[in-house]
Amino acid sequence: MFSLEGMNALVTGASGGIGSEIARALAAQGATLALSGSNAEKLAKFGAELNAESGRDHAQITCNLGKASEVDGLIPAVVEKLGGIDILINNAGITRDNLAMRMKDEEWDDVIRINLEAAFRLMRASARPMMKAKFGRIISITSVVGSTGNPGQMNYAAAKAGLVGMSKSLGQELASRGITVNCVAPGFIRTAMTDELPDAQKDALNARIPMGRMGEGGDIGAAVAYLASREAGYVTGETLHVNGGMAMLG
């Protein structure tokens, strides 16, 4: 069940904490991956690890999502390297936190450009080959703050909420072609960054979560693997919240 054998997937932000676990989950189910990121060294290191773990060669494509020309070239590069694209995972994202009254134009622009506009460009570009194949899975990683908001993150929350709206719209456009468009919204997930937080701050975060702990990257990977599968073919326009009960959203 949930086999992805014979399917080609692009994961953006693939060398990051959540991105790498998504890539591992898809590869474990048999998908062949194009791993994308802006840091060529980190990408190459993770690519070598994944190749060793999976016993298959996965492509690595360096891309700066802040540059429209590079974004627009990413899907054609994936199709050239893998022969097609069945699964698009919009995972890459940045934060530029600040209170609204202090937020600079570039802090707003950077987050919207990379977290929202780049995802739109990749969705638009991947739709054409998926429509020809009459099959596709487009999954965007949003965030609980896209639904709840968060002080100091107007830009980030707007971008994440925007991904949900875009996915619902595109899901309606592409449903008749066998293409689903969904989101996975993580809550607090344990990463190298959160590991460095003081224990008191970790305890305060965990106290907000009914399960009493942060999630793991593998929790997000598992959710993505389900939505990418053929078995999830009747699920579209949805957001799967993976947050340990922190925000129980309908």
Q: Which residues are catalytic?
A: 156
Cα Rg for the chain, rounded, in angstroms? 17
Q: Which class for 150: exposed (0-12), middle (13-18), buried (19 or more C-beta within 10 A)?
A: middle
236 neighbors 180 (Cβ within 8 angstroms)? yes
Contact yes or no for 22/224 (Cβ under 8 A): yes
- The helix/strand/coil state of 186 is strand
Contacts of 173 (CB under 8 A, 6+ apart): none
The tokens of 121 are what? 């460009």
* Residue 25 contacts residue 104 (beta carbons within 8 Å): no
CA 83 to chain centre: 22
| Sign of the Cα pseudo-torsion (79, 81, 82, 83, in order) | positive
Which among 130, 188, 150, 165 has a CA at the least distance from the CA of 239? 165
For 82-150, give the DSSP string: HS--SEEEE-------B-GGG--HHHHHHHIIIIIIHHHHHHHHHHHHHHHHT-EEEEEE--THHHH--
